[in-house]
Structure formats: C-alpha cells, structure tokens
Structure 1
Amino acid sequence: MTRPDDPRPRKGSLTLSGHRTSVTLEPEFWEVLREMARARGASLNALAAGIDAARPPEQGLASALRVAALRWVRQGAGPEPRPGPGPG
C-alpha cells in the first residue's frame, strides 16, 4: 500500500475523447490538477481533455499536465504552498 506522503509517481486513469489512458504523475501534481478542476467546476477528465487538446503534438500528456499545474500555481490560483525541503 502507498503511504499518503510517498513522493513516488502514481498512475492515474483518465478518459480523453472517449478513450481511457493512464498517466503517471507525482502526487503533488495530481493534487493540484484536482484543485484546478474543482476551481473551474469541471471534472478531472474534462480538465485533462482541455489540456490535451491544447498541447502541441510534440509534448507528451504527462508533461502538458505538469506544466498546466505549475502555471496555475505560479499565477497564484493554486493552493497555498506547503513547507518543504529547500534547494539543494
């Protein structure tokens, strides 16, 4: 069983345009994506489908999801940052 504080990436299933797909992301990214979906009044699948549709073909889905989550947090729309280890 995975501990809640386990930083290892986790696989999640999404339905995009009627097709099931799996994406592996770190728990923090899943958390931010769920918060983004809640803030927009959308499901996680709908949020991911929008990100998928807007990504350039050379960018992978997992990368596009991470970048979208990072941009959302940087814009100040995301949850309050939690204390964590500093750089290096």
Structure 2
Amino acid sequence: MSGRPQKHSLTLKGHRTSVSLEAEFWAAFRALARNRNQGINECAAEIDAARGDVGLASAIRLAVLKDLQSRLDRS
C-alpha cells in the first residue's frame, strides 16, 4: 500500500482536470469503469454529474466503495 495520493488527469466536459487518489483507489476506479463498460473519463463524468457539493476525488472514492458494497451484498 502506498498511502500517498497520485495525481492523474481526466477529461470532463471537454476540459482537463486533475484528481488525486491513492493507487489502490485508482485501480478500483479503473475496475469500476471496466465493469460499467465505460472509459475512465466517461465513468468520471457520470460520477461528476451526480456528486453535488462533494469534491470529485471524494465522489470517486464513494462510488468505488458503493460498488464494492453492492458486490459484497450480492455474494
């Protein structure tokens, strides 16, 4: 576990933005996008549109957590 956030660029609504997440969250976020048959930018745009007043990085972490919880509930 690295613990230190890593900054990556995403494109939302045609604009580049940077998001800092821990390596483990980046991996889980990429898996979430794959499971939704989406690219990472498309998945981030969907999360961004629904996030309200929460920061994008926090919204991505919460989406990853929600996805994990729902998969655990189904098992």
Return the TM-score normalized by structure 1.
0.77
- Report the CA distance between 1:40 and its aligned residue: 1.2
The equivalent residue for 2:60 is 65
* Counterpart amino acid of residue 68 in structure 1: A
Query: Matched residues, percent identical?
Result: 53
Cα offset, 1:6, TM superposition: 2.5
Q: Which has more radius of gyration?
A: 1
> What amino acid maps onto 2:58 in structure 1?
S
Higher-strand-fraction structure: 2
Counterpart residue number, 1:82: none
In structure 1, the gaps of 5 or more residues are 78-88
Task: Find the aligned partners of 2:57 and 2:31 in 1 and give their Cα distance.
Answer: 17
Moved over 2 A (4+): none
Match of 1:11 among 7, 10, 18: 7
TM-score by length of 2: 0.89
Q: In structure 2, what is the Cα distance between the partners aligned to 1:45 and 1:27?
A: 17
CA distance in 2, matches of 1:47, 1:14: 10
The one-character-per-residue Cα deviations of 1:14-68 (angstroms, maximum 9, x if unpaired) are 0000000000001111111100111111100000000000111x21111101100
Structure 1 segment 1-88 matched on structure 2, within 5 A: 5-56=1-52, 58-76=53-71
Judging by fraction of residues, say which structure has more helix: 2
Distance 2:38 2:22 in 1: 21
| Partner deviation per Cα, 1:63-87 (whole Å, 9 max, x = no partner) | 101100011011117xxxxxxxxxx
